[in-house]
């Protein structure tokens, strides 16, 4: 999802033919997977938040968080004390 003033960038990647010996060559599926994995890496590097990354991956946030977990990436970098403070603040607002 790009804005009208900011077009998407097209990047070509050469993949080895041997990689497709046991999997079909589905260009669309591969492009979608590469896009999502690149965004996972940006979240891992803390260069992008998971919400924006999910949007750019064109995935629901919950699905993107699952993808992050599959790759050992935390959706949040809050430590336990910061998380507790955030939850306490949210409870106060809800009350």
Q: How far apart are CA 88 and CA 21, in angstroms?
A: 52
Q: How far apart are CA 15 and CA 83, in angstroms?
A: 41
> Is the pLDDT at 3 greater than 60, yes or no?
no
* CB 38 within 8 Å of CB 60: no
pTM for the whole structure: 0.74
> Is the pLDDT at 1 greater than 60, yes or no?
no
pLDDT (tens digit per residue) in 38-93: 999 999 999 999 999 999 999 999 999 999 999 999 888 777 787 788 788 888 88
> Is the pLDDT at 24 greater than 70, yes or no?
yes
Burial-class residue 65 by CB neighbours within 10 Å (0-12, 13-18, 19+).
buried
């Amino acid at each position: 999802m790009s804005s009208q003033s900011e077009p998407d960038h097209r990047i070509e990647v050469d993949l080895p033919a041997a990689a497709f010996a046991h999997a079909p060559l589905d260009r669309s599926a591969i492009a979608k997977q590469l896009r999502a994995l690149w965004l996972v890496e940006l979240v891992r590097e803390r260069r992008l938040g998971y919400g924006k990354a999910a949007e750019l991956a064109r995935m629901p946030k919950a699905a993107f968080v699952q993808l992050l977990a599959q790759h050992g990436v935390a959706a949040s970098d809050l430590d336990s004390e910061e998380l507790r403070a955030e939850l306490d603040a949210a409870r106060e607002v809800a009350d």
